Structure 1
């Protein structure tokens, strides 16, 4: 055993050295600050106390919570807390949902409390389920409809919007709304020249560009059945109005040609079974009230 007098100390600080030296530099055995040690010991004690009272240790064979985790003396569970919070939220909405049941759009608009409830409940449902595709404000993106305007493929009345929400578009539901534009280029139904010609004719229907005889001929043979002779479309088939200047997949000549070539095939989920009927009611009213909703008397024309 070495004598204390043999312990080497740094000449400048008086601190003991570890005995290690690199390139003439000696390592000091500087003790940790007391305040740091006290904090460290406190965290160790806190961790032990937390482990005893709160869920902490993954389940081990033979331990309480085997295969899961130890529950702790408080038997705390955030899952239980979340369920309780959701139940409380639903209970607080009960009166609003009861008032919404069977209410017309005009009744909702003329009842400030009901309108406020629909706005809050619908906004929450929209943010959770619809905003990913349609945008937080319903503004849409290329390939995803804008819900703020008055342009609708399947109708913009409250009942039509609710039906779309329930059954979806091209979704896995027996009552889903379904329409499909052929992929004229990919499936070699039309030549490149015919696709370009009919694209020019389609653009001319909305006052963009000039038509041509070949495009008119192809349109009459391939497009009239769905988009109608005047190009105003047919909501019963989900066929867009080609005479306005609203384009779901882009309005440039290249984008229109691409749409004809590949035949767009967008899908909207069916929310029946995923959301309860009351939430769908609130969501349909919310989408209607975004600004693009139509009166129930509106006819099935346009997009």
Structure 2
């Protein structure tokens, strides 16, 4: 933390302390100074303020019990500021924080949920996917946690994978899908624009894109496509280390297949240019600590069921690891 930040924090704390003291001491002084009669004050029935002949303004002090309640309120506020945070940077003798309170309540609720989740503990996600009740529970957890990025139907968006197809950049086996959910993933595509242009000139990235588009077209003939043939040379010199000679990727690295016509960040020339030139950094957060082992398994079961439906419709293998 910088000296400026430390000074600002200390100054802000002092400012809060001063405000609190002014309020507490000011209330006590106001109460004390007005709780007794001063010499020269008119008597309770001597204000001489009379209206309509019989309406008289009196100057009677508040009753003792009312005054004592105010004093008790002030004492309570002092005790509160000693026990709880609120007096500047002083954390209070209880060390209470809203974050800590939330964690305690969350832990208590999680214990209650363990009873519901106990039948599903430790089971493989493909086995859970066969249980309709487990899938329904997993869908509810998915909607509350995962739909923000992947959409309520799991079809993803630009930069967020579609979970209903049979394409898995990190592997589509049950344990690999579960690992992606529980441990998270870091997908990094390095920026290659400068390197490629140093090897193949200003059009190098365009050449590579032309070649990439042929990978999903087995009938393509590079002999009649100058740009694609030039792109293959560049691809073989730079890209094969991650994506392989055939461009089908490497699930150990999270390197996607370039031969399936699926582009996570879009298939336009502009999107592909940006991906190759500037690189990409995709992050799938780890959810095991947030949801626990059983709930992540239930989410995995729901996700697995989505891809299996797609596999049944297309007739493709259920555990594709393209």
TM-score band w.r.t. shorter chain: 0.5 to 0.7
Moved more, 243-252 or 82-91: 82-91
- Does residue 119 (structure 1) correspond to residue 140 (structure 2)? The answer is no
- The Cα of 1:231 is off from its aligned counterpart by 1.5
The two structures have a TM-score, normalised by structure 1, of 0.62
State the distance in 1 between where 2:184 and 2:126 align.
25
Answer whether contact 2:139 2:299 (CA < 8 A) is retained. yes
Residue 102 (structure 1) aligned to one of 110, 119, 122 = 122
Report matched runs for 1:208-287 at 5 Å: 212-287=228-303
* 1:164/1:99 CA distance change after superposition, 3 Å: same
Moved more, 201-210 or 235-244: 201-210
1:238-261: CA deviation from partner (whole Å, max 9, x where unpaired):
111111121101011221111101
What's the counterpart of residue 193 of structure 1?
A: 203
Residue-pair matches, total: 223
Report matched runs for 1:83-94 at 5 Å: 87=108, 91=112, 93-94=113-114
- The Cα of 1:163 is off from its aligned counterpart by 0.6
Answer whether contact 2:210 2:228 (CA < 8 A) is retained. yes
Residue 163 (structure 1) aligned to one of 179, 199, 213 = 179
State the distance in 1 between where 2:320 and 2:155 align.
23
Answer whether contact 1:154 1:236 (CA < 8 A) is retained. yes
1:252-280: CA deviation from partner (whole Å, max 9, x where unpaired):
12211111011111111122322211221
State the distance in 1 between where 2:151 and 2:73 align.
46
In terms of fraction of residues, the more helix-rich structure is 2
Question: Over the residues paired in the alignment, what is the CA RMSD in angstroms?
Answer: 3.7
- The Cα of 1:157 is off from its aligned counterpart by 2.3
- The Cα of 1:233 is off from its aligned counterpart by 1.3
> Which structure's relative contact order is higher, taking Cα pairs within 8 Å and 6+ residues apart?
2
* 1:60/1:156 CA distance change after superposition, 3 Å: farther
Give the unaligned 5+ runs of structure 1.
Answer: 5-58, 70-79, 171-178
Q: What SS does the aligned partner of 2:264 have?
A: coil
1:59-115: CA deviation from partner (whole Å, max 9, x where unpaired):
97423673479xxxxxxxxxx9x9879856853x4444222123344543444xxx3
Give the unaligned 5+ runs of structure 2.
Answer: 1-51, 53-71, 86-100
Answer whether contact 2:129 2:301 (CA < 8 A) is retained. no
Answer whether contact 1:138 1:147 (CA < 8 A) is retained. yes
* 1:241/1:248 CA distance change after superposition, 3 Å: same
The two structures have a TM-score, normalised by structure 2, of 0.58
